[in-house]
Amino acid sequence: MDSKLLIVLLILLANSLIAVLYVIWGLFFVPAANAARNNKKQPSLIEDEKEEDDADIEDEDAAAGAKDEDKYRRGRYVLRAIIIFFCPVAGLLYFGCSNLFHRIFFHKEVDLTAVIFSKDRIQQVMRSDLEQEINLASIEEAIAVSDYRNQRQLMMNVLRSDIKDSLGSISLALNSQDSETSHYAATALRDELGGFRSNVQKMYQALRRSEHNRVKRCCEMIEYMYPMLRQSVFPISEQRNYVNMMNELAGIIYEKDKTKLKPAYYEGLIEQLINLENYSEAQRWCDIAKAELAGQLVPYKCRLRLNYSTHNREQFFETMRELKASDIPIDNDTLEIFRIFN
């Protein structure tokens, strides 16, 4: 056999062997190495049910992305092996030189120390709109007039900002004669109330399923629910259900660890019970607040509100006299009550 033909056959045999080994390495050894590297990462501990749901979604998305990436990587190795097999020497030189040039001239470690991925750390400074700022009006006043153009502009300005604390005012726009304004208000309320209902249901179900951090979860639910309930944007039956749930949560906290019941919890719960005319429960919590929060203003404010709502004149003025005789500092609202009823 001619020596030149023998050399060519050896080159082709070596090239074919390299292509086969490259496919085996890319299809079996590389995925196994990546899986072993990913398994070294320790999963974070998740306490809240909401965080668990988010983590499950993130895991599913990551698994789908990893599957697509693995499929793309396998196809890339097969395609390169085919090129190496049908282009002896030239294919090896091409991929070898390109990989070498990439590592020498372009492969650098990325410095991410100055990169911020969290949106919470970003403070966007927007240019002030002087015309808008000098043209402010309350929603109640805007609805009272028939200037629909200004009503729509005002509603759009309100909806651009954080509306979580403005839902009570936005609900007034539902009575607007302008269908577009009422549509804006209805859409905003639907989204916010829908999110609130969903989150409360998830938190309550997680609370009933697990005894872990039960007091902490109750406190978090009360702090989440009260800012929405105080705006009175729900139908009366639904508002009553949420207030009863809030009452149940406060009872759990009082039974497990009553030191976790903050004065704001007492005040918010009693306020909502009075608004629903559940005076017996409000009186019970007033008595508890009087015993647990001795020397603080909140029990007196709650009793004044309850006695005023039930038209209990004697107890109202008796509470006022007790508060005057004490050394407890009062706030502006209580001072205004003194001025009116003196």
Q: Are 205 and 142 in contact (CB under 8 A)?
A: no
Computed from CA positions of residues 216, 197, 193, 124, in that sequence, does the dihedral angle turn out positive or negative? positive
Amino acid at 213: N
The architecture of the domain spanning 214-342 is: Alpha Horseshoe (1.25)
pLDDT of amino acid 40: 55
pLDDT of amino acid 313: 92
Distance (Å) of CA 22 to CA 79, 87, 92: 11, 15, 11
Q: Provide the CA 7 distance to its chain's centre, in angstroms.
A: 69
- For 225, the token pair is 């629910």
pLDDT of amino acid 338: 86
Q: How many Å apart are CA 261 and CA 250, to the nearest integer?
A: 7
**pTM value?**
0.56
pLDDT of amino acid 237: 92
Q: Residue 162 gets which letter from DSSP? A: -
| Domains of the chain, residue spans | 1-36+69-107, 131-209, 214-342
Q: pLDDT tens, position by position, for the chain (342 residues)? A: 577 788 878 888 888 888 888 888 878 777 777 777 666 544 443 344 444 545 454 555 555 556 667 777 778 878 888 887 888 888 878 888 887 887 777 766 666 565 555 555 555 555 655 555 555 556 565 555 556 666 677 767 666 666 777 777 777 777 677 777 778 778 888 888 888 999 999 999 988 888 888 899 999 999 999 988 988 888 899 999 999 999 999 999 999 998 899 999 999 999 999 999 999 999 999 999 999 998 899 999 999 999 999 999 999 999 999 998 988 888 888 888 888 887
pLDDT of amino acid 60: 55
